[in-house]
């Protein structure tokens, strides 16, 4: 009998993370959602269970150092491995609009990078020994098209006039992590990719966004369930490759 497949989704108690958990769960994958507030996480897991998904919730606050080891211990004790890591948790502390790079504060830069970049690296490095025990590990880093330096520098591109320096730079750095980790792991069965979900109606995306949450989760789900001959070290929206 095949080992039970299990996925960990950071920031999985609402929005894209919750929908990603739902869609993975519908494929028969056990989903564990990480939530800064455990009660919110448990409530989200109950919603998933009522939808027929095998779901669990654990506390994971990117800014709490003790939570990293606790997450490792949870998966090591209950499953002995981890098949899918979706680094979904992220923040933006800026307004998306006119370019204010010259006045972006050090505090905003540090806070944004702590969650969107350093936290992703730390949880990935912490859990990687368990992902190595999977027959086909998948790591999905939730990036954004706003992290594409190529498109940011190309007049006339869809994002050329949209500059939120701290957020954009954190996602560009995250893309670099994807490239470097995928290269290190290229001789293994683990695949590492960056996902641009699209502009989605979430707390961050606002009601002005054109995409609904179920469509926004599709790229993460696709990359989390890639076949053995699927890509690694890429940057995708749906099945479209984005320029770095």
Active-site positions read 167
* Separation CA 127–CA 204 (nearest Å): 27
Q: Count the neighbouring beta carbons within 10 Å of the beta carbon of residue 210.
A: 10
**Radius of gyration (Cα) for the chain, nearest Å?**
17
Q: State the first-to-last Cα distance of the chain, in angstroms, to the nearest integer.
A: 41
Q: Count the neighbouring beta carbons within 10 Å of the beta carbon of residue 48.
A: 22
Displacement of CA 47 from its chain's centroid (Å): 21
Q: How many residues does the chain have?
A: 244
For residues 182 and 239, is the Cβ–Cβ distance under 8 A? no
Displacement of CA 59 from its chain's centroid (Å): 16
**Residue 111: both structure tokens together:** 């806070």
């Amino acid at each position: 009998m095949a080992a039970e497949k299990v996925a960990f989704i950071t920031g999985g108690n609402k929005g894209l993370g919750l929908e990603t958990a739902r869609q993975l769960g519908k494929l028969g994958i056990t989903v564990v959602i990480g939530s800064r507030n455990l009660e919110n996480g448990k409530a989200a897991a109950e919603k998933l269970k009522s939808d027929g998904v095998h779901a669990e919730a654990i506390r994971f606050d990117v800014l709490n150092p003790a939570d990293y080891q606790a997450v490792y211990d949870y998966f090591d004790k209950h499953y002995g491995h981890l098949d899918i890591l979706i680094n979904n948790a992220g923040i933006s502390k800026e307004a998306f609009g006119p370019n204010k790079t010259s006045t972006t504060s050090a505090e905003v830069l540090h806070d944004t990078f702590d969650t969107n970049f350093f936290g992703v690296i730390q949880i990935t490095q912490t859990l990687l020994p368990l992902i190595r025990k999977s027959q086909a590990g998948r790591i999905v880093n939730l990036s954004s098209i706003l992290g594409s330096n190529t498109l940011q520098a190309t007049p006339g591109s869809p994002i050329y006039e949209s500059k939120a320096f701290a957020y954009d730079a954190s996602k560009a750095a995250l893309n670099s992590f994807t490239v470097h980790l995928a290269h290190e792991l290229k001789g293994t069965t683990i695949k590492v990719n960056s996902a641009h979900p699209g502009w989605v109606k979430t707390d961050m995306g606002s009601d002005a966004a054109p995409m609904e949450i179920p469509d926004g989760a599709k790229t993460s789900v696709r990359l989390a369930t890639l076949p053995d001959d699927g890509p690694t070290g890429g940057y995708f929206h749906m099945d479209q490759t984005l320029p770095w």
